[in-house]
Structure 1
Amino acid sequence: MTTASRRLLGAALALLLSAAVPVSAARADSEPAGVPQTVPALTNWSPGGGSYEYGPGVRLVADDAASRRVARTLADDLRAAGKGTVPVTGGPSRSGDIVVDVEPGDKQLGAEGYELRVGKQLEITGAAETGAFYGTRTVLQLLAHLDEIPAGRTVDVPQYKERGVGVCACYIHISTDWLENLVRDMAYHKLNQLLVEIKVKSDAHPEANSWGYYTKSEIRRLVALGEKYHVTIVPEINSPGHMDPWIQDRPDLQLVDTDGKAQPSRLDITKPEAFAYYKSLIDEYAEVFPADWWHMGADEYMLGSDFAKYPQVLAYAKAKYGANATPQDAFIDFVNRVGAYAAGKGKHLRIWNDGLTGANTVPVTPGTTVEHWLNVRTKPSQLIAQGHPVMNAAYSLYLVRGGFHTNTKKLYDEQWDPRSFEGEKLASRDGITGAKISLWPDNGRGETENEVAKATFLPLNHIAQATWGAPHPDATYAEFTARAEAVGHAPGWQDTTRVPVPDGTYTLSDRGHRTAPAGARLTRTPDGYVTIASADGTTCLETRSGKLTLNVPLEPGSAVTWEPCDAKDTLQRWQLAAADGGYRITSAITRMALDADTDGRLVQYPPDQKAPTTWALAQR
């Protein structure tokens, strides 16, 4: 029997079975009883008779190149999940197999939908490779908490095309391990877009390489992981505001006010050399980010400020657009010039919405995607009418490091969905691309990465549910929480809270030179790091010197010193990782390595600027 014939027969049987099997009297917006639990919840589930049991003879059957790519990724993840090594083979299939099939002619599935049929074998069908891949994510989730998968069928198609997470790795460096965990978990929950405001170490502008950057090799590795797991990595360099990571040492590009004071966070949009500088950054990012998107931010350029302090901006606008032009027109002009340049490189432009206040005569180029986070005069419905795809990036979906956290329970109980913007609720999904949660480092030392990961778990599950399917699959938030916990994390997700050594007092040494003569007391913190205290427990290693950025000391080479122990001080938390027969010790907050200078002085350095010290720990 051909795959198409099996699908037609399966569909007919499923319709008969669904008519014969009663559905529990659940709420209309909640998932019926008996549906296997996943996040997002399965839609249109038709139960069958019997079940599928994953056994030792299982094979992954795939007959074409696209199907085999999906099957090989599934094999990797089954192995990572502790399900053994499963061979990928061609047909015919047999009982117990998992069949992966990409059938381009199935238009009902679209680019990301899939059909799953569960019986004596599992059959996953997508009209495109991405759809088949998402079918395998459902299978992995089911195998994570079920010994046997009940028979049935579903056709599962997302409601929104953009299902995302935004991360500002723009000032405070976030470890690549953390970002890779996020990519895996996003894909596992069928989220498809990671939008990162991020600083790539520049070859063209070495003067801009203050710490917080990522090397191009690190970015290429992250992008490759995203490509494997169908997560598009969209880069952002926020401009023309928030440019201080790039122009703090370029006063010639900074906007200067009427008092002659330069603004290191504001690019002077009236200067041709400022636009040329920004274009060169786009060029360099294009080397490592193949995404068809460019995010330029465009937020908070003058929020809380007064254009009157910068008369050169109005002069520029009038010179270009006439006597009725406004200062805002110069800002929109910069946005449109960036959009045109990005389009020339095959990239679509994305911006935040707060700069679109309506105080302009020049329109933003239609087709520019607007991410709506702030309630200003120009509403989402107006943006859609003006020809802009709109993504919901509401402030209510924010997690601010050391500050505001989204109230996921409240959103779930209110049955929030992507039509609910700040200041406006739309009746239709038309023009809405989707939604994302956003992670911001406003107080960079307010929480550690592990604390942020824990806080993000349920918001990530919720945004996955609300952008893929019905926003309220369970009658209560407690039930939705239980669903998320049953599904858990993606295969290959690394538990970064594990500490490789037990609590105790150690001799801490570098190349045989003891740096803590009285011993160092290592104690695991609740979030999975260690404090390194003196033997009497009164002082702890801390990095606190140098220039602060978002309340974090980010100056390479700055001293690490012994300070009075404070359990609440995140700058006293360190991550241990086995390396070269010893351990690498990294600050939980600055993400710089603990190093010893030749004179024995303790300092912090980025790992690409100085080979990290390997520390020996001998328990006393």
Structure 2
Amino acid sequence: MVAGLATPSAARTGTEAAAQTPRTVPALGGWQAERGSYEFGRGTRIVVDQGEGAARRVAATLAEDLKADGKGTVPVVAGPAREGDIVLAVVPGRQKSLKKEGYELRVGEQASITGATEAGAFYGTRTLLQLLAAGDTVPAGHTVENPAYAERGVGVCACYIHISTEWLENLVRDMSYLHLNQLLLELKVKSERHPEANTWGYYTKDEIRRLVALGEKYHVTIIPEINSPGHMDPWIAERPDLQLTDTDGKPQPSRLDVTKPEAFDYYTSLMDEYAQVFKAKAWHMGADEYMLGSDFAKYPHVAEYAKAKYGPDATPQDAFIDFVNRVHAYAEQKGKQLRIWNDGLTGDNTVPVEKGTVVEHWLNVKTKPSEIVRQGYEIMNASYALYLIRGGFHSDTRKLYEEKWDPRSFEGEKLTGAESITGAKISFWPDNGKGETENEVAAGAYLPLRHIAQATWGEPAPDATYEEFAARAQAVGHAPGWRDLTRVPVQDGSYRFEDTKGRMDPVTWRVERTGDGYATLTSPSTGLCAETRSGKITLNTPLEPGSAITQESCSASNTLQRWQLTKAAGGYRLTNAITRMAAHVTSEGKLVQYPADQQTPAVWRLTPERS
């Protein structure tokens, strides 16, 4: 188990449980203790109305999760209920008190969950799962819970580098367990229309379909992002015809030329392709850092475009806003709401951003949150204070908790009201791709994830001290079905690695588990470690398919020397912890790395060497 990740606490005694509100994340803000307790046992059933489709869907997921949590097979039946049962109901008439995602929980001889919507009833089951994580006895009581904010989220930049789908699936499960409901994914989906853009870091459409289906099941909306018109190099590095060109005639691979109709057509064709796999009624176009490290003066044709379209007082910034607004119109036509980052709203424009666009505020710039709200836009708090950057800045959760941070606290300004604030999210960025492994990121995210869940659902600091909140967070553990990705399937020791297809001579490696749950492979004969370091480097990460796997001087801090061993038919696969490419053996017997959909990963038969 990675440091910082804990299993649920042991069950408390009945006296201790009755003396306090049961520990959940988010905390139960309206809990009223009552005499007695609820007992989950062999005879427990999940009871729903026979014709209630929404409640039955929630019940089926709950039964599946109870089984995954070691609670056995719990049948879903129609009433009447008896002692020890779990009763689920979706009652649209309760919308006034329970709103869109709220629920009522009553615990006594039975555990009863009522929502006005399917989502509300679902979140009630997540709370019940947390209560049962502490033991089969739950103290009696009653509460009505409603979220403070509609959007309670996480942002992940699976951009440039690839993050395993197993890691993302764990995240979705934990998010729903904590009542978080929105996952922003900046990522590349492998394109059929633009194969020249399919540099590694992508996801196949089938992978995304599976992830989106999991999100739908667990009430996590997955919103895709293709950042534009800046940060477009993953897409247009091989398309100089679409790149913004400066006065020296130098194309800029990261910048889309917003003045070209072909550039807009290219971008919207990607939106159409993403619509094949993403179902969210929202589209995030990024729109940040377009002129990062440069300025519009080096691109005079942008100003000319703006003046030709909007008149002599127009600014180059208007051309940028024009592109945003054209994407807005296209998204709206497709039934989607546009979302953008805030830093492009410099105030240097004469053309306003179209109303209906949601602004996600992460950076303190000239146009403050209060001005964005005054202008009539909804705003989400995506504060830099909530960032976790690989090999860089990590959110100070203790500081935020002790300050009683809530979604009104933006970078540079705190708003007094919350009417136009949709919510808040933490964000994961891979600026230094090899700075940390996925497992290290997961360990570092454990408390920040639970803090944002608390701060967006209810009282930002329900416990008197941060230590008490950390204990609360540890007590609830992980969601049912969460997979421990730190397990290495073989013991430390020396093994003879034999390619099952016989394309290279067997080699002996000493396998040693790393602290974050991967393995290093050291050659006993050379004392060197298996590593991937050659090929094109992006974010300090070698991401070129087909690049060699070599032996290099061993270093405990070198994440590129960490490998994931995965069971496969006939043996094991080897996947680099950072590049997420698998070891492949060429017909010439060379060891290289490739995405699994490009070349079939080698399967290795491991035979322990005698000491």
TM bracket (short chain) = over 0.9
Q: Distance in 2 between matches of 1:138 and 1:544?
A: 45
1:105 match: secondary structure? helix
Q: 1:269 to 1:128 in 2, by over 3 A?
A: same
Q: Equivalent residue for 2:105?
A: 116
Give how far 1:464 is off: 0.1
Give the corresponding residue for 1:278.
267
Residue 146 of structure 2 is matched in structure 1 by 157
Match of 1:553 in 2: 542
1:191-217, Cα deviation, whole Å (9 max, x unpaired): 000000010000000000000000000
Q: CA shift at 1:598, angstroms?
A: 1.4
Aligned with residue 316 of structure 1, among 301, 305, 309: 305
SS state at 2:92 partner: coil
User: Is 1:104 equivalent to 2:98 in the alignment?
Assistant: no
The equivalences for 1:72-91 within 5 A come to: 72-91=60-79
1:398–1:460 CA distance, 2 compared to 1 (3 A)? same
User: Which residues of 2 match residues 135-534 of structure 1 at below 5 A?
Assistant: 135-511=124-500, 513=502, 519-534=508-523
The alpha carbon displacement at 1:401 in A equals: 0.6
Shift of 1:559: 0.4
- Structure 2 CA distance for partners of 1:221 and 1:147, relative to 1, 3 Å: same
> Which has the higher relative contact order, 1 or 2, with Cα contacts under 8 A spaced 6 or more apart?
2
CA displacement at 1:595 relative to structure 2: 0.9
Residue of structure 2 equivalent to 1:608? 597
Shift of 1:535: 1.5
Residue-by-residue CA offset, 1:488-545 (whole Å, 9 max, x unaligned): 1000000000000000000011026485756210000000000011015720110000
Please tell me whether the aligned partners of residues 548 and 593 of structure 2 are also in contact (alpha carbons under 8 angstroms): yes
Q: Is the 8 A contact 2:498 2:507 kept in 1?
A: no
User: Distance in 2 between the 1:33 and 1:231 partners?
Assistant: 34
Instruction: Describe the superposition over 1:361-391 as per-residue Cα deviations: whole angstroms up to 9, x where unpaired.
Output: 0000111000000011111111111111100
Q: Describe the superposition over 1:375-421 as per-residue Cα deviations: whole angstroms up to 9, x where unpaired.
A: 11111111111111100000000000110000000000000000000
Task: Specify the alignment match of 2:44 in structure 1.
Answer: 58
Counterpart of 2:583 in structure 1 is 594
Q: Distance in 1 between matches of 2:136 and 2:41?
A: 10
How far apart are the structure 2 equivalents of 1:258 and 1:596?
Answer: 47
**Aligned residue identity for 1:598:** S
Does 2:64 align with 1:47? no
The CA distance in 2 between the partners of 1:77 and 1:445, in whole Å, is: 34
- Could you report, residue by residue, the CA deviation over 1:250-289 in whole angstroms, capped at 9, with x for unpaired residues? 0000000001110000000000000000010000000100
Q: What RMSD, in angstroms, separates the aligned Cα atoms of the two structures? A: 1.2
CA distance in 2, matches of 1:617, 1:268: 53
User: 8 Å contact 1:531–1:541 — kept in the other structure?
Assistant: yes
Partner-residue secondary structure (3-state), 1:538: coil
* Amino acid corresponding to residue 354 of structure 1 in structure 2: D
Does structure 2 retain, via aligned residues, the 8 Å contact 1:313–1:330? yes
Deviation per residue, 1:461-483 (Å, 9 max, x gap): 00000000000000000000000
Aligned partners of 2:475 and 2:119: how far apart in 1?
Answer: 24
Aligned to 1:35: 21
Deviation at 1:147, TM superposition (A): 3.4
TM-score (norm 1): 0.94
C-alpha distance in 1 between matches for 2:503 and 2:256: 49
Distance 2:605 2:556 in 1: 25
User: How far apart are the structure 1 equivalents of 2:312 and 2:19?
Assistant: 66
Q: What per-residue deviation string (whole Å, max 9, x for no partner) do you get for residues 426-476 of structure 1?
A: 111110000000000000000000000000110000000000000000000
Preserved contact between residue 185 and residue 490 of structure 1 (Cα < 8 Å): yes
Which consecutive unaligned segments of at least 5 residues does structure 1 have? Answer: 1-31
Query: C-alpha offsets along residues 535-577 of structure 1, whole Å, 9 cap, x if unaligned?
Result: 1572011000000010101111110001111111000000001
SS in structure 2 opposite 1:237? strand
Which ranges of 4 or more aligned residues in structure 1 deviate by more than 2 Å? 511-518
CA contact (8 A) 2:432 2:539 kept: yes
Question: What is the count of residue pairs matched by the alignment?
Answer: 590
**How far apart, CA to CA, are the structure 2 residues paired with 1:160 and 1:519?**
55
Report if the CA contact (8 A) 2:498-2:506 is conserved: no
Amino acid paired to 1:488? G
SS of 2:439 mapped into structure 1? helix
405 and 346 in structure 1: CA distance in 2 versus 1, 3 angstrom threshold: same
530-539 or 130-139, larger mean C-alpha shift = 530-539
CA contact (8 A) 1:508 1:515 kept: no
Q: Distance in 2 between matches of 1:313 and 1:37?
A: 57
SS of corresponding position for 2:510: strand
> Contact conserved, 1:247 with 1:265, CA < 8 A, in 2?
yes
Alpha-carbon distance in structure 1 between the residues aligned to 2:362 and 2:543:
29
TM-score normalised according to structure 2 size: 0.95
Task: Please give the residue correspondences for 1:14-25 in structure 2 after superposition, counting only pairs within 5 Å.
Answer: none
State the match for 1:562 in structure 2.
551
Match of 1:571 among 560, 569, 572: 560
Measure, in 1, the Cα distance between the counterparts of 2:125 and 2:98.
15
The answer to whether the Cα contact below 8 Å between 1:507 and 1:514 also exists between their aligned partners in 2 is no
Alignment CA distance shift 1:455-1:448 (3 Å): same
Q: Is the 8 A contact 1:318 1:326 kept in 2?
A: yes
Residues of 2 paired with 1:33 and 1:201: CA distance? 55
2:152 and 2:339 mapped to 1: Cα distance? 15
Question: 1:71 is aligned with what amino acid?
Answer: A
Give the AA of the match of 1:112. Answer: E
SS at match of 2:93: coil
Which residue matches 2:4?
A: none
Q: Contact 2:232–2:253 at 8 Å: present in 1 too?
A: yes
Cα–Cα, structure 1 residues 33 and 318, in superposed 2: closer, same or farther, change >3 Å? farther
Q: Mark the runs of 5 or more structure 2 residues left unpaired by the alignment.
A: 1-17
In the alignment, the residues of structure 2 paired with residue 51 and residue 537 of structure 1 have an alpha-carbon distance, to the nearest angstrom, of 63
Of 510-519 and 299-308, more deviation after overlay is shown by: 510-519
Quote how far apart the aligned CAs of 1:302 are.
1.0
